[in-house]
Structure 1
């Protein structure tokens, strides 16, 4: 009896001991962590802001509530264009933004979002994940104490809203236009006066006449912001944004202190939430465009001389920056080589298919 009692007690002790050891190990590998995340955007721009919301929700649910990220819209913690500094100095652990807003810090950041006559959304995804894009962007962001992750793409954007018709390059002279990043510098060489204004301030500026034109994203966002009410001419294509990648910035110290499974979770959730963004835009832009036209918007293609002048000015500016910015040249050369190799393939396959189908459907409707 004594022997059986001893073994029983010893067994219970072993179980209790193992539980005592296992609990701290589990807690250590799956700790309770709470982060703050700021965004350049807010609830008035659903595809953009809801992507950040989706990302936060995925991280929390997949970690069984152990890793939570509280999202704050632009202005609640820092201004919309303060995301890079806020993440870099760890005012917040992470943030959602578009890197071309930080053109003034270094034009090289534009390659993380969009550059004139650059890659479309699928091509950008390929460059980032299958080319050298991610490696180069990580190198670029490292001195800012930031680890970057793609967090979606808007697809090819529109060329914006104008109070007056653009018939030639001459009509761009003196035009006060809200635009961001590299595009502003290119347009300025054709006479445009670029203005960088946060999303929430664009409509009032256009309404008051502080702006003559504005480009933002495309039909879904433009309709919600109401640009068609104050500028009826809607131009395409947005040659400065063949795609526009949105990014997740994570403070490097905060990221490196995470367990490996949480680090992987950030990458997985950012990819999944980002995929939802492009799907949202592609699914909802057609109906939004039809509504805009129905409410009086006049859809126009940029004249060929405007496109040609823009292409030439863009290439001139690329050469200038390559000559004086070593990092810019390193990224530019890699990015443009990738573009020049992939565009002919898209023209053969995707382009020819899309062009034929578009014409066939238009003819079918006429018959």
Structure 2
């Protein structure tokens, strides 16, 4: 877990030895009928967050695999910068990834819907319903089926997206000029309200807040703010969110996935589901508990009538994204149909 990036690159080979090193690194993980299959997997999450969002599932997999397969888990930017994860997985430098499509720069049109697509969902349960009952599973499989070398495996719902800031946010005017660490598509949307998106390595965020390089974070809910230490370097938590849940996925190098026996594929799928399930209750309970019992951050809110401006602008943003490709248009159509169904269903599906 303490492997440094430069040491990793030395082992992989550089300069004239790069090709040979890469070939060795990317060699099939199966070397014989009785040999353990070994994977390197990197998550988007830093160590403290990974203890909740991925490590328990991988530990369970390694235990249940009973020596037939072992997954070595690495944290955010430990082997490869998050923005390069897709390419590293595609070329076999690493074997599997847990992240959102947006952050790893997945070269598919649906990548904008990964991470925090503004107001695509209200609650965490919306994401698995959209994928399993409204056709997003098939669309994601179709999109990644056009890309060589990577297998998209599963999507799940993670935490909502709120602002954690040094200064209080009580109006849209307060957002103007704020330098905020956030996700690519979320940042693109938030520029409409004067936010300045900043991209930094995950491990540098806490220091950047302390030095004043950042004014805030729009990367998570309050559970993560407390878990990873961001609540220690911010003073305020905005209760309005730009998305009710993050959409994140598991991916694997296609060749490595094809080498895995069916029973271990099934085991890995079950462990992915256990990870998704843990997030459902960990975030849901944590968000409420820390809003009411947390002592490190003061809650602020933008009035509903003013926040509606942001929600209305998101619908314009959706339509712009729909124009980018036929598949994007299909996703937006599904999102709109789902929103209408939830609104018509009323409480408890939608309260307004």
TM-score, normalised via structure 2 length:
0.81
Per the alignment, residue 13 of structure 1 pairs with: none
- Per-residue deviation, residues 116-160 of structure 1 (Å, max 9, x unmatched): 111222121112122211111122223153222336433434x21
Q: Show the counterpart of 1:124.
A: 127
Q: Given the superposition, is the C-alpha separation of residues 265 and 319 from structure 1 closer, same or farther in structure 2, using an over 3 Å criterion? A: same
> Counterparts of 2:209 and 2:203 in 1: how far apart (Å)?
12
In the alignment, does 2:308 pair up with 1:308?
A: yes
Does residue 336 in structure 1 map to residue 340 in structure 2? no
- 1:44 equivalent to 2:43? Answer no
The unaligned stretches of length 5 or more in structure 1 are 1-26, 356-367
Structure 1 residues 82 and 106 mapped into 2: Cα distance closer, same or farther (>3 Å)? Answer: same
* SS state at 2:84 partner: helix
* Residue 321 (structure 1) shift: 2.3
| Matches of 2:306 and 2:200, distance apart in 1 | 24
* 1:301-346 Cα deviation digits (max 9, x unpaired): 223354222122222222222223333223222233233223432x
- Look up the match of 2:193: 190
- Structure 2 distance, partners of 1:310, 1:70, is 42
CA contact under 8 A between 1:154 and 1:278: conserved in structure 2? yes
Deviation larger for 116-125 or 51-60: 51-60
Which of 207, 217, 240 is equivalent to 2:210? 207
Partner of 1:216: helix, strand, or coil?
A: strand
Shift of 1:59: 2.3
- CA change 1:162–1:106 in 2 (3 A) is farther
What aligned pairs does 1:1-367 form with structure 2 within 5 A after superposition? 32-45=36-49, 48-102=50-104, 108-119=110-121, 120-142=123-145, 143=147, 145-150=149-154, 152-157=156-161, 159-239=162-242, 241-292=243-294, 294-295=295-296, 297-345=297-345, 347-351=346-350
Distance 1:350 1:61, change over 3 A: same
Point out the structure with max Rg over C-alpha: 1
- Cα distance in 1 for residues equivalent to 2:317 and 2:237: 26
- Over the aligned positions, Cα root-mean-square deviation in angstroms equals 2.6
Distance across 1 between alignment mates of 2:106 and 2:315? 19
Structure 1 residue 290: Cα displacement: 4.0
Deviation at 1:271, TM superposition (A): 0.6
Q: Work out the CA distance in 2 between the residues paired with 1:282 and 1:349.
A: 15
Q: Residues 215 and 315 of structure 1: is their aligned pair in 2 closer, same or farther, counting only changes over 3 Å?
A: same
SS in 2 for 1:299: strand
- TM-score w.r.t. the length of structure 1 is 0.78
Shifted more, 168-177 versus 134-143: the winner is: 168-177
49 and 336 in structure 1: CA distance in 2 versus 1, 3 angstrom threshold: farther
Deviation per residue, 1:44-76 (Å, 9 max, x gap): 21xx44432222223223322211111111233
How many pairs were matched up? 319
Q: 1:109 to 1:40 in 2, by over 3 A?
A: same
Q: Distance in 1 between matches of 2:46 and 2:164?
A: 21
Structure 2 gap segments, 5+ residues each:
1-31
Instruction: Give the number of the structure whose residues are more often helix, by fraction.
Output: 1
Question: Quick check: 1:43–1:73 contact (8 Å CA) kept in 2?
Answer: yes
Distance, in Å, in 1 between the alignment partners of 2:265 and 2:216 is 42
Relative to structure 1, the CA distance from residue 257 to residue 245 in structure 2 (aligned partners, 3 Å threshold; closer, same or farther) is same
Deviation at 1:350, TM superposition (A): 4.5
Is the CA contact 1:40–1:83 (under 8 Å) kept in the aligned structure 2? no
8 Å CA contact retained: 1:150, 1:274:
no
SS of 1:249's partner is strand
Quick one: distance in 1 between partners of 2:188 and 2:233? 25
Say which SS state the counterpart of residue 38 (structure 2) adopts.
strand
